[in-house]
Amino acid sequence: MQNRKILLSEKEIPSAWYNILSDLRTPLSPPLHPATHEPIGPEALRPIFPDALIEQEVSTAPTIPIPEEILDIYSLWRPTPLVRAYNLEKKLNTPARIYYKNEGVSPPGSHKPNTAVAQAYYNKEAGVKRIATETGAGQWGSALTFACNLFGLESTVYMVKVSYQQKPYRKSMMQVWGGEVVPSPSTRTKSGRDILARDPDSLGSLGIAISEAIEDAVQHDDTKYALGSVLNHVLLHQTIIGLETREQFKKIGVEPDILIGCCGGGSNFAGLALPYIRDKINGKDLSIIAVEPTACPTLTRGEFRYDFGDTAQLTPLLKMYTLGHDFVPPGIHAGGLRYHGAAPIVSHLLGEGIIEAVGCKQTSVFESAVLFARAEGIVHAPETAHAIQTVIEEAEKCREAGEEKVIVFSLSGHGHFDLASYDSYFASQLQDYAYPGEKILEALSKLPVIEE
Amino acid sequence: MQNRKILLSEKEIPSAWYNILSDLRTPLSPPLHPATHEPIGPEALRPIFPDALIEQEVSTAPTIPIPEEILDIYSLWRPTPLVRAYNLEKKLNTPARIYYKNEGVSPPGSHKPNTAVAQAYYNKEAGVKRIATETGAGQWGSALTFACNLFGLESTVYMVKVSYQQKPYRKSMMQVWGGEVVPSPSTRTKSGRDILARDPDSLGSLGIAISEAIEDAVQHDDTKYALGSVLNHVLLHQTIIGLETREQFKKIGVEPDILIGCCGGGSNFAGLALPYIRDKINGKDLSIIAVEPTACPTLTRGEFRYDFGDTAQLTPLLKMYTLGHDFVPPGIHAGGLRYHGAAPIVSHLLGEGIIEAVGCKQTSVFESAVLFARAEGIVHAPETAHAIQTVIEEAEKCREAGEEKVIVFSLSGHGHFDLASYDSYFASQLQDYAYPGEKILEALSKLPVIEE
């Protein structure tokens, strides 16, 4: 019998996160004040984040130790298994060896608690009583309520109203963990009330929900805000994925040739990829591929410019690949990949040519999803399926070239709350959206012109 | 940091199932022909089961080797972790040490694939092309389609119509694995058509769905039937749970004092319990507790008599604790525990006083469910919550008595498709059904009188 899973013991959970900022040859461009366009210092973030997280956001230390209390919670589901996808290899008749790092085994069902637990911990340490955040499809909100509950913090999740209505069970899960879930736009905040005054039937958007959560945090002394992707400290916490993966490969004496992850804001992709970047910078022959939907082609068709993180232009300006904060992506099922920007770190690495990016169409993505679910048994999230689509393409190239490459991808989450999207696929109701070029150009035309 | 999870490697998956029939002091009463009431031989089961499974049904060999092909599929998620519930212990302030065996980590989300994979394998070996089965809430149907897909078999699942409508995502999951899901009653079978002729709006029942699946199997040469609980061979396959648990406890030098599992048909409870029965018979001080809903009190209020497995009286008569095949349990959310009978093996052990049984009320069960989910992070199935309710009671007794007992329970499945029931709990809409005594007496009065 072949060994499918490469496991680590709890004692082998890495004791420090890896900080990519220490290894970049050129530093990231600084965040700018949304009005003055001047570089901002850490103090600008104090109203919404605790000091420890602000320090991590700007730290250039090579590693940052993981506190014992966080490791203890991680051990509820970590280390996650690295699994050899024998059945998929067989189905594809490929000489490639395919592995996946399964982050879907966490109680909330994705990689998101890696940072949610860390953020809840540092907020708790800082005396914060409550965390406000936004969620779209619900993965991030689930992870944050899960984490807050374990540290005895309250949580308020502004959930995009259309998701609140369409995905009632994500909301239920958050309530099981004691989270308060508020459909957004709400009457709780001025931002919400303004929207409702203009459009009482508004179904909401991630941009609106972010504005509500930030306003909630700013308005209450005992409350802070938490973000589930994009920022440096979020990607830092996610490096636990790639660090474990390295240890697991070391155990079996294997080194990957191709790393693949789906990319929305970038936290899942970066979690796997960042701990391998130094090897790549030092000349190792390694492909590192971020996969995004062609319907929201941030990395493949966006511009590397300063832009706001939210629609309402309240956040600092970040230098990143962007389609423009005004761009509203088509309603693809991979809600976690519908974001106009990409993390500054991911954007920087793409700009430097250290990583690559590719786009996938929705129908092919679901074809790959079903193929994988039937081969390996796991019903996974539509976001993950983007990575799988690219894995399959790379494995097919290996078959044609007769190359026995080692491919590893991040299985970002299970799909137990995404089955309606599989239904749409089987009913042939999925749309392959045309490349939204004009809309993107229009959104990009609205960006501030910043001289660097 | 404390170690939460006791893990085994894939090589440590037990290589044989344990057969309790070899250790019983008095043999089980034989199954009887539904019409003649005479004991039936294995040949009576040939139209619906392959020979290998019929042999396992009656075997008295102490162990039965697990074929390599089954072990290979098991390794997709097995061995499952045995986890110390430190957070729960702390919340309960108990000196008891609480462990759970997490069967919710399987791709279909429960312990059911332990037997589904075995049954699919032996059917495949026997040249069967398709398996027909029934499902209520969907756990068994999911497991069977998962298993059939991996062995290249077709599957047809007759799903109780009300569940088909209320739990659309269980149906979707089965379709992802290539299963055909038919709302029952259907026009596919005579049984279904008869029901529909009398009541075109029938929402179905497990009894009707069983009849349809058996009829489908009997009518088609290339098709067999599969059952997810009750029968000896099903419980045999589930002993993998308890066998692994024994190995895991051995690794840390701990022995359990109390074993707890929820009990509907009995396959989850038996899976954990059976490998410990010999210790108990040999005098070890061990409590083995089956937990059922008070709304369907098979073990605690039923009679130990011969009864049919289905409402239509098509199955052989089995000697078991029963509430009468005509008894329709109230609509509690733990659908997997709504069965009028209990496995003959479990019934026999209860009759001999080797195991105990207790009943739980729905509201308390959900209180315990939420307490556990908030302590340990896992949102689990309402069935599992019955076990947890009893774990909490036993842990509280330990606190009062100052006893450091070791309690282990089987976490039968996750609750990702059961969140509507948690919603009902939070909305205070759960009913604690009165003990349905009159209905049970009426159902029992219809049982055939068999002289033994």
CB contact under 8 A, B75 and A423: no
Q: Sign (positive/negative) of CA torsion B300, B305, B308, B312?
A: negative
DSSP label at residue A178: T
Residue pairs spanning A and B at CB distance below 8 A: 115
Chain B CB contacts of A169 under 8 Å are: 416, 419-420
Q: Which positions in chain B touch A82 (Cβ < 8 Å)?
A: none
Q: Distance between CA atoms of B261 and B65, rounded to whole angstroms?
A: 25
> Are A2 and B72 inside 8 Å of each other by CB?
yes
Task: Give the mean model confidence (pLDDT) for residues A81-90.
Answer: 98
C-beta atoms of A172 and B420 within 8 A: yes
- A1–B10: do the CB atoms touch at under 8 Å? yes
CA distance A114 to B213: 45
> Which residues in chain B are contacts of A71 at CB distance < 8 A?
1
- The region of weakest confidence among A140-144, A421-425, A448-452, B388-392 is A448-452
Mutate to test the interface with A, among B11, B77, B180 (most CBs of A within 10 A): B77
Query: What's the pLDDT score for residue A433?
Result: 85
Identity at B54, one-letter amino acid code: I
SS3 at position B427 = coil
**Partner residue opposite A76 with nearest CB, options B4, B7, B417:** B4
Q: A420: which chain B residues are within 8 Å (Cβ-Cβ)?
A: 168-169, 172
Amino acid occupying residue A155: S
| A150 pLDDT higher than 70 | yes
**What per-residue confidence (pLDDT) applies to B1?**
62
Q: Does the pLDDT value for residue A288 go beyond 90?
A: yes
pLDDT at B224: 98
Nearest CA in chain A to B7: A9
Residues present in chain A in total: 452
Chain B hits for A5, CB-CB cut-off 8 Å, are 10, 75
CB-closest option in A75, A87, A172 to B4? A75
* Selection from A285, A229, A283, A232 nearest residue A261 by Cα: A229
CB atoms within 10 A of CB A159: 28
Q: How far is B262 from chain A (nearest CA, A)?
A: 21
Test A419 with B173 for CB contact under 8 angstroms: yes
Residues of B with CB under 8 A from a CB of A: 1-5, 7, 9-11, 68, 71-72, 75-77, 87, 105, 107, 109, 146, 149-150, 168-169, 172-173, 175-178, 370, 373-374, 376-379, 414, 416-417, 419-420, 422-423, 426
List, for residues A290-301, the tens digit of each pLDDT value: 999 999 999 999
pLDDT tens for the 452 residues of chain B, in order: 679 999 999 999 999 999 999 999 899 999 999 999 999 988 899 999 999 999 999 999 999 999 999 999 999 999 999 999 999 999 999 999 999 999 999 999 999 999 999 999 999 999 999 999 999 889 999 999 999 999 999 999 999 998 898 888 999 999 999 999 999 999 999 999 999 999 999 888 888 899 899 999 999 999 999 999 999 999 999 999 999 999 999 999 999 999 999 999 999 999 999 999 999 999 999 999 999 999 999 999 999 999 999 888 888 999 999 999 988 888 888 888 988 999 999 999 999 999 999 999 999 999 999 999 999 999 999 999 999 999 999 999 999 999 999 999 999 999 999 999 999 999 999 988 888 889 999 999 999 999 87
Q: What whole-number distance in Å separates Cα of residue A427 and Cα of residue A422?
A: 9
Q: Write down the pLDDT at residue B162.
A: 87
Question: What pLDDT, on the 0 to 100 scale, is given for residue A1?
Answer: 62
A122-129: average pLDDT? 98
Query: What was the pLDDT predicted at A203?
Result: 86
- Taking an 8 Å cut-off on Cβ atoms, the answer to whether A172 and B419 are in contact is yes
Interface test with B, best of A3, A11, A66, A76 (most B CBs within 10 A): A76
**Two tokens, residue A192:** 């919400």
Q: What is the pLDDT of residue A219?
A: 95
Interface-testing mutation among B11, B146, B416, with chain A (most A C-beta atoms within 10 A): B416
| Radius of gyration, alpha carbons of chain B | 21
By CB neighbour count within 10 A (0-12 exposed, 13-18 middle, 19+ buried), where does B413 fall? Answer: buried
What average pLDDT does the structure give for chain A? Answer: 95
Residue in chain A nearest B176 by alpha carbon: A370
Q: Do A175 and B149 touch (CB under 8 A)?
A: no
Residues of chain A with C-beta less than 8 angstroms from the C-beta of B376: 76
pTM over 0.90: yes
Residue of A4, A176, A370 lying closest to B75 (CB–CB): A4
Distance from CA of B357 to the nearest CA of A (A): 29
Contacts for A130 with CB less than 8 Å, ≥ 6 apart: A153, A154, A155, A156, A220, A222, A223, A224
Is A87's CB within 8 Å of B422's CB?
A: no
Q: Which residue of B has its CA nearest to A71?
A: B1
Inter-residue contact B415 to B388 (CB < 8 Å): no
Residues of chain B neighbouring A370 (CB-CB closer than 8 A): 176
A303-347 tens-digit pLDDT: 999 999 988 888 899 999 999 998 888 888 888 898 899 999 999
Q: Nearest CA to CA, how far is A448 from chain B (Å)?
A: 44
Cα distance between residue B165 and residue A277, in whole Å:
49
Residues of A in contact with B378 (CB under 8 A): 107
